[in-house]
Structure 1
Amino acid sequence: MDAKSYTDGLADLRELRDQIKPLERQLKKLQADRDKKIAALGAYEKAKADRLATSAGLSVIDVVALAPHLGPQAPASGPTGDEVATESAVGRSGAEAPAQAIKEPVGTLAPDLSTPPAPVEQQETEEQEQDSVPAAAAVTDENMAPAPPSPAPAPQPAGDAPARELPSIPEGLDGDRWFRAESSLLSTRPNFRQAVRQMAFLDAATGVLVWQGGKASLELGRASVAEILAAVYATVPPTIERIYVTGGDPWHRNAARHEFLRDAVAEWLNGPLPEGWQVESSRGKDRQAGHLVHPRNPVGRWQRGDQHTEIRSVGEWFDPEGADPETVRQAFVELWKALHEQWRDVVLMGSPSQTGRDLWTRTIPDKAGARWADGYPVMSQEIRGLIHATAGQGRTELMGPPRMPAKVPGWFELDRTFAYAKHCWSSGVGVPQRMTAAAFAGLSEKEQANALYSPSHWQVRVTIPDGWDHVGLLPAAAPGERNWHYPYEPGRTFTTWAGGAEINLALRNPLMPWRVEILDGLVWEKGDPLKGWATKLKDAWSYLQSWSTSHGDERMRLAYRLASRAVRSILLYGIGTLAQRPKVTTGSVELHADGSTPEIPDGAQITGITDTHVTWQRHGGFARDPYAHPEWAAGVWSAARAALLSTHQSVVTERDKTTGKAKVGKGVPAGALHLPAGSILAFRTDAIYTTVRPDWPYSGQPGDYLLKGAMDWEQTTPTSDTEFFVLQGLGRQALEAEGQ
C-alpha cells in the first residue's frame, strides 16, 4: 500500500463513519422507545416478563432490569438479596410457571456414598449402550441422618466470568404440572409424499454447471446473485428449483470488507436482482420463504412469478473435497439409490436435517394395535424448555497451557466412525416420571440402578474425588448462552444436569467413582423410536462405504464416499432437528434512500448493517411442532459424550457369506479414560486428540475409533482454535503420507 492508497482509504473510512452515525442514532432512538414501552407495559397487573421478552426480542433478565417488579420475588422464609433467575429457554403461555434457578437444597446433606455398593448384574445387549454397571447415586432427603458436609468448591480463577445459572423444576404442584404431554400434539407417520425438486450443481469459481439434462460452462463475472440467476436460467429449464454451489463460495467474495462473515453473506444475498426476480415471499406447506443468513452455508430463496429457486451450499451435506460438479451430482444420485433401498418413498430435500426428519417420520409405527401406533406424545413446553437449557450437544474442549505443557511428544486424532448411529437403539417415550431426591431415596438399590439405566435426565450435585488426575466427566454450565465446560479439579463440587449415560459413567468409570447426589430427575419409559430409522441409515451408509473402497473407477469411489458422508449428515442433523430449538427467523430490509432504517418486524433484533440493507433476527420461542423430541436428542448426545470417555471398540468375529454383514464381538476398552492421564489435548464432538497412539483395533463399525491423523514427533501445544485446526490438517496429511 502506498501513501495515496492510505489517504484514499482514510477518506473511505470517514465516509463510512458518516453513513453509520445516523443509523446509530436511529437505533438508539428505537431502543429507547422500546425500553419505555416495556416499562409502560410492565405496569399492567398481569404482565409477564417472558411474554414481554419475546415481544421485545430481549432476554428475560433484560426485561426485569427495566421492570424489576416482574422478576422472581424471594419467599418469606427463603434466601434474601437480589436473586434474579436467568432466562430459561422455555416457551410458555402466561399461565405457565417459570423455571427456577438452581438453588442448593435446604435440609440435611446426603450421606457419602462414594464407595459403590455391590454391582447390579445386567446382560449387555445391542440395545444397552452403557459400558459400565451403575452404582446407586447419593440422594438428598430431609428425613435421613446428617452426614459430613461436601468439600468446598474449588476456587474459580480470578477474572473468570460467572457461569450462567441452570433452571430447575419448581417444587410441589407447580413443578408436577410440567409432567404432561401437549394436548392434541402427536408424532404420526405422514400420509403424503414430499414433492421432488429438480437440482443443478454449480462451481462458482469455474462456472461449470451440471444438471440432469446436461453440462455447461457459464460466464459468471463476480458470481453475484444476479449473475448466477441470469446465467443459470438462460441455460436450464425453470423446473430446476435448487442450485447447489459445489465450490467458489460466492457469498464470501467481499469478506475482506467485513468484520464478520455473516455480514458478507448478508450483503451477497441482498444484492441487486435481474429484472422480474424478487426475494421469495411465500411458498407451499413444505417450503420456507426468505433467506437463511448463515456464515458458511447460507440459503438464498428467490422467485420470478410462479417460479421459485434456492441457492444453497453443498457443504450442508458434506465437504466436496474439491470434487467437480459432475462428481457431486453423482454422489447425490448414489445417495438417493441407497436410501431408496430402505425407503421406497424417499425424496432428497434441501438439507440433510430436513431429509433426516422426513425419513424418520416414515418409520413411525402405524400398524393398528402396535405400541405408539397413535403417535408419540410431545412433551410439555416446560419440559422441552428445561431440556433445551440443560442438555448440551457434542463435547468441545481444548486443553492448552498451563493445563498441558507447552510442548507435547506427539499428535494423534481418533475419530468415532458414524458415532451417533450407535446410540439410537433406546430412547425415552411417553410422559416422564419425576424422580425427586426423596423419591429416589425411597427406592431399593436395584430400583435406583434401574432408574439410572432408564432413559433419564438428572439434576445432580457432584464432587470430584481427591486424587483425580484425568479429564472431567460431567458437563457444567459455563458463561455464554449454550457453553459448557467439564470440571476436573480434585475436591471440586458443582451442581449441574446430565443424562443417565454420563451419570452412570461418573459412578462406574474405570478409574475411580465420583460422588453424585441426586437432586431431581426425569425418567422415561424405555422405547426404540429411533432404532428403525438409524438401522436403515446404517445399512445405507455401510453399502456406500463398501463401494467407496471397492469400485474400480476413482471418480465413482469419491462419489460413493461423499454419499456415505451425506448419510452421516442426515443422521447427525436429523437428530438435531428433534431437539427443536426455539425458532429463530432471519430476514433483511432495504435501507431508505436517506440511509434511515425502515420498519423491522415486531420483536426483531438488528444483527448487521450494510450499505443497502439491515439484517435482523427474531426469536419466536417454541412452536407447536408435532415432531419435537428434545429428550431423544439429549439422550443420544449424552450417550455419545459418555462413549467419548469409555466404550468398547468393536471386533469383527466373522461375516455372513451371503450379505457380507459383520458379526461383532464386544471388543476392547477404548476412550479417553483408557489413555494416560495428561495425554488428552482436545475433544471435538466424537473425536479425541491425544499425545499417544493407542493400539485399538478398527473394524469399521459405527462407534469405532479410527486413527485419522498422526504425528509422532514433538509438537507445540495448541492454544487457540486456529492453531488446533492447523495441527489437525498437518496430522491428517502426515498419516496419509505414512500410508503411502
Structure 2
Amino acid sequence: MDAQSYNTALTELRTMRDEIKKARTQLAKLETDRNKKIVQLASYEKAKAERIAPAAGLGVADVVAIAPALAPDSLAESDIPQPLSPEPPTARAADEPAPHSPQQGATAPAMTTTAGPSAAPPLPARTTAPDPPAVGETPRKLPTIPASNSGDAWFTHTSGLASTRPNFTQQARSTVFLDTDTGVLVHRNQTHRLDLAGRSAADILTAVFHTVPDGVERIYITAGDPWHRDADRHPYLRDAVAAWLNAPALDWRTDTGRGRDRMAGHFVHARNPVGRYQRDNSDSHVEIRSVGEWFDLDGDDPATVRDAFVLLWQALRRHWSDAVLMGSPSQTGRDLWTRTIPARGQHADGFPVLSEELRSLLHATAGQGRNELLTPPRVPEQLPQLLEYDRTFAYAKHTWKPPVGTPRRITAATFAAWSQKEQMRVLYGCGHWQVRVTVPATWEHVGLLPAPAPGDRAWHYPAEPGTTFTTWAGGPEIHTALSNPIQPWKIEILDGILWDDGKPLDDWAKKLKETWTNLTAQAHFQGDPHQARAAHLASRAVRSILLYGIGSFAQRPRMVTGTTPRNLERDVPPDAEIIGFDDELITWQKPTGFTRDPNAHPEWAAAIWSGARAALLTQRHRDDDTYAGALHTPPGSVIAFRTDALYLTQPQNWPYHHQPGDYLLKGHLTGPLAAPTTEEELLTARNAGRAALTTARET
C-alpha cells in the first residue's frame, strides 16, 4: 500500500464511521418508537404479551419489561421468563439432541436444536441482616432451597434413572474431511478435488456423494466455514448459520434420527454448527460438522486432520478396546466414561441421577470457568508488560474426588453446631454451599468468590473492601477464601449440600491423561513434521474430550431453536424469545427443560469447575514445596482471568513439569502498553504476546 491508497482508505474509514453513527442513531430512534408502540398497545384491555412479542421481534419477557401491565396477574415477578443467551463453548455440549423439523410446506413451526498454607479462623454464626444492593445495578437473585420438609424432599435421586455400563458396541461412521475453500476432500487414503459451486449444504452433499458413492455418514469441514457465506446479509452469525442449515437441499431433508446414538435436527451454533440430513426415500444419514469442535487449526490441510483422528483413535484403543470416535468430543467423552463404569462391585448398578430440583439448583448456581478483565483504576493504565500463564490440561487436575451417594442437607444450624475442625473438614469435602460473604476491610487483591451479576448466568468477583454479598460456591473455593495466604474472608454458611467423596471419574480421567501424555510426547519427539503436527492436534482433541465430557455431565436445560412463517406468527410459542427474522421467517428459541438423561451429573461438573477456579487463585506444588496462582502475585499485577489462564504484569518462577494443572508461560508482550479495557483488546494483546514469545524462543 502506498501513501495515496493509505490516505484514500482513511477517508473511506471516516465515512464508514459516520455511517455507523447515523445507523446507530436511527436504530435507537426506532427502538424508542417501538417501545412507545408497545406501551400504547398495552393500554388495550385484551392485549397479550404473547401476541405483541412476535410482532415486535422480542421475547415475552422483554415486552413485559417495557409494559409491566402485560404481566399476568398470577405470575410473580421472579417467575417472568428471562431473556436467554447461548452458553460459552468451553463448557456447553456442542451437540444437544433436538426435535426434528417438519418438511417443507408444513404449517407447524420448524425446529432445529440449537487450598492454602494458613489456618482458618472460626466461622461466625449466621446473621439475618439483608445484603446491600450493588451500586448502580441489580444482580440477579440466585435460587435457594425451600425451608423444612419441602426442601428436604429435594435430597434424593430420580427414580429409575442412573448411569450404567452400556451393553452394546458403538458403530464407527464413515468419515471424510473437506476443505470448502479449496475443494480438497480426503476419504481414507484417497484425496479428491471437488467443485462445490456455491458451497451450500446441497452443493456439499451432492459433490461428496458423487465422489464417494458407497456412502458417507460424517463430513468434517476443516476450513472455509461455508455456513458463514452469507454472513453480510444477516445481523448475527447465528442467523446466517440457521439460514444455511435450513436452505432446501435437493433429495435431502432434515434428519429425524434413528438408533440409540442418533441425534435429530440441526444444531445452530455461530461457529461450530451441526447439520443433520437424511436422503429422501433412502436410509442415508449424514452429518456436516466443524472440526473446530475438536481443536483449532492453523492452516492444516485435510490430510493432516485425517491423520490426527487416526492417531487419536489408535491412542484411545490402547485403553478402550471398543473405543469409537463419535461426532463430537462431548459425545465421545461421555461414551468412553460409561465404558469405565464398574461391571461389578460397589457401583455395578450405576450412578443414580439427582432429583430434578437439585439439578436445576446446580444449573443456576454453579458457574463454569472464571472470565474476568480487571481494568484501571484496579490496574495501572500503562502496563510494563503482559504475560500469559496457561494451566496445562487444567480440568484433568480436578477429577480425582467428585461427589457420590445420596446428598445431605446441611443447614446453618447444623453447621454451627459442629466444631471448627468438623466445619473445615466438610468444607474441604464434596459440597455446594449457600454463603454470605464479606470482603475484609483491608483487602487489596482480586476477588475470591463468584457472585451473581446482571445478565443470564453472569458472574463477577467482588473485591471491594467491606462488600457483602450472598452466593453459592463449591467447597474448594470456600476453603480457599477461608485459608488463603493473604487474609481470611468472613464466610457465613446459610445452607448447603454435602456428598460423600468418590472416584466415579478416576479410571476415565487417568486413561485420558495417559492418552494425552502419549500423544504430547509423540508431537515433541516425532521427526516427521507432518506427523508431529497430527499428534499435537490429537493431543488437543483429548483435551476437548475431557473438557466437553465434563461439560456434558452438567446437562443444561435443552434449548430449541425454531422458525415460523411470518404469516403464521401467532404460532410462535408464547414462551419463546425472538432471536431474528426476515421477510419470510421468524426465528425463535425456547428452553425445553431437563430430559431423563441417565448421564446427567451436574454435581461432578460443579465440583471440577470449583476446583479449577480455586486453583487459579492458589495451587500447591508438593514436589517443589511451593505455590502458584493469582494470590501469589503482588496486588495490581493480575490483569485478567480466562478459564485456565492468568494474565499478569510480572514474570513468575512457577514450576512447570508438563503435568496437568501446571502453569505454562504461553505469551509475553513487552511494554509499556495500555491496559486492555475490552475483551477484544485483551485477545489482541494475547495473540501478539504469543507471537512475540514464539519468535523469541526461535531466535
Same fold, judged at TM 0.5 (above) = yes
The answer (yes or no) to whether the contact 2:49–2:63 under 8 Å persists in 1 is no
Distance change >3 Å, CA 183–CA 137, structure 1 → 2: farther
Match of 1:325 in 2: 302
SS at the partner of 1:552?
Answer: coil
2:624–2:655 contact (8 Å) kept in structure 1: no
Alignment check: 8 A CA contact 2:61 2:80 kept: no
Query: Residues of 2 paired with 1:714 and 1:481: CA distance?
Result: 36
- The equivalent residue for 2:110 is none
Paired position in structure 1 for 2:674 = 716
Classify 1:567/1:65 alpha carbon distance in 2 versus 1 (closer, same or farther; 3 Å): farther
3-state SS of the aligned residue for 2:535? Answer: helix
Which residue of the partner structure matches residue 168 of structure 1? Answer: 144
Q: CA deviation at 1:557?
A: 0.6
Contact between 1:427 and 1:632, CA under 8 Å: does it hold in 2?
Answer: yes
- Secondary structure of the residue aligned to 2:626 is strand
Q: Which piece of structure 1 moves more, 249-258 or 382-391? A: 249-258
1:391 matches 2:363: no
Which residue of 1 is the match for residue 235 of structure 2?
259
User: Could you say which residue in structure 2 is the equivalent of 1:216?
Assistant: 192
Specify whether residues 392 and 412 from structure 1 end up closer, same or farther in structure 2 by C-alpha distance, changes over 3 A only.
Answer: same
Partners of 1:675 and 1:685 in 2: how far apart? 18
Distance verdict in 2 for CA 1:539–1:708, change over 3 Å: same
Q: CA deviation at 1:135?
A: 3.0
Cα distance 1:472–1:301, how it changes in 2: closer, same or farther (>3 A)?
same
Q: What is the rounded CA distance, in whole Å, between the counterparts of 2:326 and 2:63 in structure 1? A: 36
Give yes or no for the alignment of 1:374 onto 2:352: no
Q: Is the 8 A contact 1:267 1:610 kept in 2?
A: no
Q: Tell whether 2:384 aligns with 1:409.
A: yes
* Distance (Å, rounded) in 1 between the aligned partners of 2:213 and 2:585: 31
What is the CA distance between 1:237 and its match in structure 2?
2.8
**For 1:352-411, what per-residue CA distance to the aligned partner results, in whole angstroms no more than 9, with x for missing partners?**
0111111111111221xx122211111111111111111100000011123222211001
Q: Aligned in 2, Cα 1:150/1:132: closer, same or farther, shift over 3 Å? A: farther
- 1:539 paired residue among 497, 503, 514: 514
Q: Are residue 629 (structure 1) and residue 613 (structure 2) matched?
A: no
Query: Larger deviation: 277-286 or 561-570?
Result: 277-286
In the alignment, the residues of structure 2 paired with residue 87 and residue 599 of structure 1 have an alpha-carbon distance, to the nearest angstrom, of 19
Instruction: Tell me which residue corresponds to 1:646.
Output: 618
**In the alignment, does 2:458 pair up with 1:483?**
yes
User: Are the structure 2 counterparts of residues 247 and 332 from structure 1 closer, same or farther at C-alpha, using a change threshold of 3 Å?
Assistant: same
Alignment partner of 1:690 is 2:648: yes
Distance (whole Å) between structure 2 residues aligned to residue 632 and residue 88 of structure 1: 27
Contact 1:57 1:619 in 2 (8 A): no
Asked if structure 1 preserves the Cα contact closer than 8 Å seen for 2:196 and 2:204, the reply is: yes
Residue type of the alignment partner of 1:419? A
Cα displacement (A) at 1:151: 12
Q: Residue 47 of structure 1 corresponds to which residue in structure 2? A: none
- Residues of 2 paired with 1:280 and 1:631: CA distance? 33
Higher relative contact order (CA 8 A, sep 6+): 2
Aligned position for 1:551: 526
Judge conservation of contact 1:414–1:687 (CA < 8 Å) in 2.
yes
Equivalent position SS for 1:700: coil
Counterparts of 1:360 and 1:136, CA distance in 2: 40
Q: 1:215 to 1:294 in 2, by over 3 A?
A: same
Q: For 1:418, which of 368, 393, 399 is the aligned residue?
A: 393
Indicate the residue corresponding to 2:163 in structure 1: 187
Q: Which moved more, 1:617-626 or 1:595-604?
A: 595-604
> Aligned runs of 1:16-35 on 2, under 5 Å?
none
* Cα distance in 2, alignment partners of residues 61 and 561 from structure 1: 51
In the other structure, the counterpart of 1:247 is 223
Counterpart amino acid of residue 273 in structure 1: A
Does 1:237 find its partner at 2:237?
A: no
Other-structure match for 2:321: 344
Task: Give the SS at the match of 1:458.
Answer: strand
Alignment partner, residue 580 of structure 2: 608
Displacement after TM superposition at 1:310 (Å): 0.9
What's the counterpart of residue 429 of structure 1? 404
SS at match of 2:515: helix
1:560 to 521, 527, 535: 535
Instruction: Return the alpha-carbon distance in structure 1 between the equivalents of residues 613 and 73 of structure 2.
Output: 39
String of CA shifts for 1:559-613, please: whole Å, max 9, x gaps. Answer: 0000000000000000001001111122445x47xx6658456754432224554
> In structure 2, what residue type is equivalent to 1:566?
A
1:223 and 1:607 mapped to 2: Cα distance? 25
Q: Does the CA contact (< 8 Å) of 2:122 and 2:420 recur in 1?
A: no
Distance in 2 (CA, whole Å) between partners of 1:500 and 1:436 is 15
User: Under a length normalisation based on structure 1, what TM-score does the superposition of the two structures give?
Assistant: 0.80
Offset of residue 150 of structure 1: 8.3
Instruction: Return the alpha-carbon distance in structure 2 between the equivalents of residues 726 and 287 of structure 1.
Output: 40
- In the aligned structure 2, how far is the partner of 1:569 from the partner of 1:382? 29
Distance 1:68 1:701, change over 3 A: same
In structure 2, the residue corresponding to 1:712 is in which secondary structure?
strand
Kindly indicate whether residue 594 of structure 2 is the aligned counterpart of residue 617 of structure 1: no
CA contact 1:140–1:519 (8 Å) conserved in 2: no
Displacement of 1:473 in angstroms is: 0.2
- Counterpart of 1:709 in structure 2: which amino acid? G
More helix by share: 2
Aligned to 1:290: 265
How far apart in 1 are the matches of 2:547 and 2:684?
25
Q: Report the equivalent of 1:226.
A: 202
**Are positions 1:737 and 2:692 aligned together?**
no
Cα 1:280–1:623 change in 2 (3 A) is same
- Give the counterpart of 1:269 among 214, 222, 245: 245
Paired amino acid for 2:316: L
Please report how far the alpha carbon of residue 547 of structure 1 lies from its aligned counterpart in structure 2 after TM superposition: 0.3
Contact 1:134 1:453 in 2 (8 A): no
Moved more, 216-225 or 494-503: 216-225
Q: Is the 8 A contact 2:391 2:662 kept in 1?
A: yes
Deviations 1:339-358 (A, max 9, x none): 11111111111110111111
Give CA deviations for 1:527-549 in whole Å, capped at 9, x if unaligned.
01111111110000000000011
Instruction: Say if 1:251 and 1:265, in contact at 8 Å, map to a contact too.
Output: yes
Residues 56-106 of structure 1, C-alpha deviations (whole Å, 9 max, x = no match): 9869998997233343xxxxxxxxxxx7477799xxxxxxxxxxxxxxxxx
Question: Which of these residues, 135, 142, 146, is aligned with residue 120 of structure 2?
Answer: 135
The 3-state SS of whatever aligns with 1:215 is strand
Residues 371/264 of structure 1: CA separation in 2 closer, same or farther (3 Å cut): same
Corresponding residue SS for 2:658: coil
Q: CA deviation at 1:505?
A: 0.3
Aligned residue in 1 for 2:658: 700
Corresponding residue SS for 2:74? helix
Query: What amino acid is aligned across from residue 716 of structure 1 in structure 2?
Result: A
Paired residues of 1:151 and 1:491 also in contact (CA < 8 A): no
Q: Report whether the alignment pairs 1:678 with 2:653.
A: no
Is the aligned partner of 1:312 residue 2:289? yes
Offset, 1:681: 0.7
Q: Name the SS for the 1:239 alignment partner.
A: coil
2:244 partner SS:
helix
Residues 238 and 307 of structure 1 are in contact (CA less than 8 Å); yes or no, is this contact kept in structure 2?
Answer: no
Aligned residues: 631
1:357 corresponds to 2:342: no
Deviation at 1:444, TM superposition (A): 1.7
What is the CA-CA distance between 1:38 and the residue it aligns to?
A: 8.1
Mapped to 2, the partners of 1:171 and 1:132 lie a distance apart of 36
CA distance in 2, matches of 1:633, 1:60: 35
Where in structure 2 are there 5+ consecutive unaligned residues?
A: 1-8, 51-58, 84-114
The answer to whether the aligner puts 1:515 opposite 2:490 as a matched pair is yes
Structure 1 residues without counterparts, runs of 5 or longer: 41-55, 72-82, 90-129, 143-148, 651-664
Is the 2:124–2:490 Cα contact (8 Å) retained in structure 1?
A: no
Structure 1 pair 88–230 and aligned structure 2 pair: CA distance change class (3 A): closer
- TM-score normalized by the length of structure 2: 0.84
What is the root-mean-square deviation of aligned Cα atoms in Å?
Answer: 3.4
Moved more, 175-184 or 678-687: 175-184
For the residues of structure 2 that align with 1:465 and 1:519, how far apart are their CA atoms?
19
| Residue identity in the other structure for 2:588 | W
CA separation in 2, counterparts of 1:217 and 1:426?
50
What amino acid does structure 1 have at the position aligned with 2:362? I
Q: SS where residue 409 of structure 1 aligns?
A: strand
Please name the residue that 1:69 is paired with.
74
* C-alpha displacement of 1:449: 1.7
